[in-house]
C-alpha cells in the first residue's frame, strides 16, 4: 500500500528562497542558429515552456541561451531549470510539497521518496508505449525494476544508459586523485597503496610547500558536506578491493552483505587519516567547509589530493583550473589504483551502466500537459537533439572530418569549458535522460568525453605527460576496469531510498547522523584508539544489524528477480 506519511524533515522545513537565476555574458557565436542544420523555426509565442527543479547544485543558463533556443525551435518546448541552493534536497522538496508549488519536471535526489509518499508524481506506465525513445531507453526488466510498491513507474533514471558500444575515456566515479605535478616531481612512481599515496604527498609538500606564486599548498582535503560525506566515509570498501555498492560490501561468492564500517580496513583507513591530520597534511577546514568552498579551494590549484567522484568536481573545479592556466603548473587531477595493500586488486571502475532505481526525472501532478512534457523527453533522446545537447552546433562547437568523425579545434575546446560561454551558448539539459556509448551513426561517441581521439587531443599537457609515463591513454587506463559484479549491483540504489518507516531505515538514518558527528572527531583525535572505541559504541547503538538485514533481503530479492529474465 502506498505510503502517505511525510517524513519529519517536511515539518521542520523553513521558508527560504530556494533558487536564484544565474547570470553570465559572453559573445557566443553569431553563427550558431545558422549552422544548426535543419532547425524548424517555431512561430513567436508558439514555444511551450515547462519548469524543472533538480535537487542538486547546478549552474543556470542564460534566458537567451543559443542552443536552448535551437532545441526549442526543433521541439516546440523550452524548460526553465532551477537547482538546489542553500538547502538540503529533503528541505527543498519538503517546502515544495507543503507549499503546493511544484515544477513540471523534478528530480528530488535524496528527497525523491518524499514526492512519492506525498502522491504528487504522475504514473508513467500508461504513457510509455506512445513515446518510443523513452520506451526503448530501458529493457522490460529495467522498467520493472523501477516499479514502486504500488506497482507503478514514476521516474526515469537519467544517467545509466549506454547505447551501442561502450566508449569510456573518463573515470566518472570515485578515486584517490592526485595532482599531475606531484607525480611528475617524483618521476611518475607506481602508487598502489594508501600508505604510498600519503607518503608521496608528504614528501612533495615538504619539498614544495607553495605554488609558483607563493600560495601555500593544501596537501589533502576532505569533502564532508551533507550527503557528499561519502568522500570521507566509504573508502574502506574500495581499499578492500570491492566496487561501489555504496552502503555496504557484497561478497560475490556467498552473496552476503558485509558492513564496511567495522572492518579491519576501516580502522586502518581512519587511523591513517588521523595520523595525517596530526602531521598537518589533512586540511583542518575539511569538516566545516561547504561544497562551494571545497570547489573554490580545488579551483585555486592548491589541493594536492583528495577522494571524490569525477562528476563532483571535474566540470567545475577542473574547468576553472584550465581557464586559469593552472594546468601549466600541473594542477590537473589523476586517479590512482589505491588499495589497502598491493595484494588486493582494485575495483574502482566497473564497465557498463548502473541503474539507480532510487530517483530520476519525474513529472509532477502540477504539470498541465503531461503528453507534451513526455514528448519533449522523447525528442531529447533523438540523435540530432542529443548531438546538440552534448556536442553543440556543427561548425561552431565541433567539426566533422572526411570519415564522419567529430572533432574539435583547440579554440573550440577552450570555449567549451568557459563559464560564460556555457551559460550563453551550451544547453545539455544535463538532468534529463541521456545516452553515453555510440551514436546511431556507428562512428561517434554520444558525448565528447567518450571520443577517443578527441578526448586525447583535448587533454591538458600535464595529463598527457602523466598518461604517457604510465602507458595509459585514458583515465580508465590509470586504474583499470572490471565487469559489473552481479545482478544486485549497486546496493546504493536501494539504500538511497530508505525512509524511517522501517527498522533498517531508522538504523540507516541514525548511522548517518553518528558518522557525521563522530568521524571528524576520530580523524582529529589525539587518542585515536579511544575515539574509535567511542565511535563504535555509538555506531553499534544504532542497530546496524537491522540495516544490514534489510540490505540482505533486497539483495536476495534482486537475485531472484534477475533469474526470471535469464
pLDDT digits 0-9 by tens, 166-193 = 988 999 899 999 999 999 999 999 999 9
Percent of the chain at pLDDT exceeding 70? 92
Task: Say if CB 159 and CB 434 are below 8 A apart.
Answer: yes
Which of 472, 482, 249 lies closest to 346 in space, CA to CA?
482
10: phi then psi, degrees, rounded to nearest 5: -65, -40
Which of 484, 46, 557, 56 lies closest to 242 in space, CA to CA?
484
pLDDT of residue 25: 34
Dihedral sign for Cα 231, 237, 241, 245, please: negative
215 exposed, middle or buried (CB, 10 Å; 0-12, 13-18, 19+)?
Answer: exposed
pLDDT digits 0-9 by tens, 117-158 = 999 999 999 999 999 999 999 999 999 999 999 999 999 999
pLDDT digits 0-9 by tens, 357-367 = 889 999 999 99
- pLDDT exceeds cutoff 90 at 8: no
- pLDDT exceeds cutoff 80 at 199: yes
Q: Grid coordinates standing for 219?
A: 596537501
* Three-class DSSP category at 437: strand
- pLDDT exceeds cutoff 90 at 216: yes
Confidence of residue 3 (pLDDT cuts 50, 70, 90): very low
- pLDDT exceeds cutoff 70 at 419: yes
Confidence of residue 305 (pLDDT cuts 50, 70, 90): very high
pLDDT of residue 352: 82
CB atoms within 10 A of CB 139: 11
| Vertex 195 angle, CA 193 and 200, to 5° | 100
pLDDT digits 0-9 by tens, 481-523 = 999 899 999 999 889 888 888 999 999 999 999 999 999 999 9
Which of 362, 381, 493, 359 lies closest to 429 in space, CA to CA?
381
pLDDT of residue 538: 98
- pLDDT exceeds cutoff 80 at 337: yes
The string of DSSP codes covering 27-90 is: ---TTHHHHSTT--PPPTT--EEEEEEESS---PPPTT-HHHHHHHHHHSEEEEEEE--SS-HH
pLDDT of residue 137: 97
Cα 349 to Cα 127, 313, 381, 437, 492: the distances in Å are 35, 17, 26, 16, 16
The string of DSSP codes covering 224-284 is: -SGGGGHHHHSHHHHHTT----SS-EEETTTTEEE-GGGSHHHHHHHHHHHHHHHTT-B-T
The string of DSSP codes covering 147-162 is: B-TTS-B-EE-SS-EE
pLDDT of residue 500: 85
pLDDT digits 0-9 by tens, 244-264 = 998 999 999 999 999 999 999
pLDDT digits 0-9 by tens, 353-406 = 888 888 999 999 999 999 999 999 999 999 999 999 999 999 999 999 999 999
Cα 271 to Cα 178, 223, 524: the distances in Å are 20, 18, 10
pLDDT of residue 442: 96
Pairing of strands 333-336, 249-251: unpaired
Instruction: Enumerate domains of the chain plus CATH numbers.
Output: 48-163+356-450 (3.40.190.10), 174-310+320-353+468-479 (3.40.190.10), 491-561 (no CATH)
Distance from chain centroid for Cα 473: 23
- Over residues 27-42, the mean pLDDT reads 40
Q: Grid coordinates standing for 104?
A: 513540471
pLDDT of residue 527: 98
pLDDT of residue 24: 35
CB atoms within 10 A of CB 469: 14
pLDDT digits 0-9 by tens, 50-69 = 999 999 989 999 999 999 99
pLDDT digits 0-9 by tens, 540-563 = 999 999 999 999 999 999 999 899
**Of 86 and 121, more confident:** 121
Confidence of residue 45 (pLDDT cuts 50, 70, 90): low
Neighbouring residues of 520: CB distance < 8 A, sequence distance ≥ 6: 224, 232, 286, 287
Amino acid at each position: 500500500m502506498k505510503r502517505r506519511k511525510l517524513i519529519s524533515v517536511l515539518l521542520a522545513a523553513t521558508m527560504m528562497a530556494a533558487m536564484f537565476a544565474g547570470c553570465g555574458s559572453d559573445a557566443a557565436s553569431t553563427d550558431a542558429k545558422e549552422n544548426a542544420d535543419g532547425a524548424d523555426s517555431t512561430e513567436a509565442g508558439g514555444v511551450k515552456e515547462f519548469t524543472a527543479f533538480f535537487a542538486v547544485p547546478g549552474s543556470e543558463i542564460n534566458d537567451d541561451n543559443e542552443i536552448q533556443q535551437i532545441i526549442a525551435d526543433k521541439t516546440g518546448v523550452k524548460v526553465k531549470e532551477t537547482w538546489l541552493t542553500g538547502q538540503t534536497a529533503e528541505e527543498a522538496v519538503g517546502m515544495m510539497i507543503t507549499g503546493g508549488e511544484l515544477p513540471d519536471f523534478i528530480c528530488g535526489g535524496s528527497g525523491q521518496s518524499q514526492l512519492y509518499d506525498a502522491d504528487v508524481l504522475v504514473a508513467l506506465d500508461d504513457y510509455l508505449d506512445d513515446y518510443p525513445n523513452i520506451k526503448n531507453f530501458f529493457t522490460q526488466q529495467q522498467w520493472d525494476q523501477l516499479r514502486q510498491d504500488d506497482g507503478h513507474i514514476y521516474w526515469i533514471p537519467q544517467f545509466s544508459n549506454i547505447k551501442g558500444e561502450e566508449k569510456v575515456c573518463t573515470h566518472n566515479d570515485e578515486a584517490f586523485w592526485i595532482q599531475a605535478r606531484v607525480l611528475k616531481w617524483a618521476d611518475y612512481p607506481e602508487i598502489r597503496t594508501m600508505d604510498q599515496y600519503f607518503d608521496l604527498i608528504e614528501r612533495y609538500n615538504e619539498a614544495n610547500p607553495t605554488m609558483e606564486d607563493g600560495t601555500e599548498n593544501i596537501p589533502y582535503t576532505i569533502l564532508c558536506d551533507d550527503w557528499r560525506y561519502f568522500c570521507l566515509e566509504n573508502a574502506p570498501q574500495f581499499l578492500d578491493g570491492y566496487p561501489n555498492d555504496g552502503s555496504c560490501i557484497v561478497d560475490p561468492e556467498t552473496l552476503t552483505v558485509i558492513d564496511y564500517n567495522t572492518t579491519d580496513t576501516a580502522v586502518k583507513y581512519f587511523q591513517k587519516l588521523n595520523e595525517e591530520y596530526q602531521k598537518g597534511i589533512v586540511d583542518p577546514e575539511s569538516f566545516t567547509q561547504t561544497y562551494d568552498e571545497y570547489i573554490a579551494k580545488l579551483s585555486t590549484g592548491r589541493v594536492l589530493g583528495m577522494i571524490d567522484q569525477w562528476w563532483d568536481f571535474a566540470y567545475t573545479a577542473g574547468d576553472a583550473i584550465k581557464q586559469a592556466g593552472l594546468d601549466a603548473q600541473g594542477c590537473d587531477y589523476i586517479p590512482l589504483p589505491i588499495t589497502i595493500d598491493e595484494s588486493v586488486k582494485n575495483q574502482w571502475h566497473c564497465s557498463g551502466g548502473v541503474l539507480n532505481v532510487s530517483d530520476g526525472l519525474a513529472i509532477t501532478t502540477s504539470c498541465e500537459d503531461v503528453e507534451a512534457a513526455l514528448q519533449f523527453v522523447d525528442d531529447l533522446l533523438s540523435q540530432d537533439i542529443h548531438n546538440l545537447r552534448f556536442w553543440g552546433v556543427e561548425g561552431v562547437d565541433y567539426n566533422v572530418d572526411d570519415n564522419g568523425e567529430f572533432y574539435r579545434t583547440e579554440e573550440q575546446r577552450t570555449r567549451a569549458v568557459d563559464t560564460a560561454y556555457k551559460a550563453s551558448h551550451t544547453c545539455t539539459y544535463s538532468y534529463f535522460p541521456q545516452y553515453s556509448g555510440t551514436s546511431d551513426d556507428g562512428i561517434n561517441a554520444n558525448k565528447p568525453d567518450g571520443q577517443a581521439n578527441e578526448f586525447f587531443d583535448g587533454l591538458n599537457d600535464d595529463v598527457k605527460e602523466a598518461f604517457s609515463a604510465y602507458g595509459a591513454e585514458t583515465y580508465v587506463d590509470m586504474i583499470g576496469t572490471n565487469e559489473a559484479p552481479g545482478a544486485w549491483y549497486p546496493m546504493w540504489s536501494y539504500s538511497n531510498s530508505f525512509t524511517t518507516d522501517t527498522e533498517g531505515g531508522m538504523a540507516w538514518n541514525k548511522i548517518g547522523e553518528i558518522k557525521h558527528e563522530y568521524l571528524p572527531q576520530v580523524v582529529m583525535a589525539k587518542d585515536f584508539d579511544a575515539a574509535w572505541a567511542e565511535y563504535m559504541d555509538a555506531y553499534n547503538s544504532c542497530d546496524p544489524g537491522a540495516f544490514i538485514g534489510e540490505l540482505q533481503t533486497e539483495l536476495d530479492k534482486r537475485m531472484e528477480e534477475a533469474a526470471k529474465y535469464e
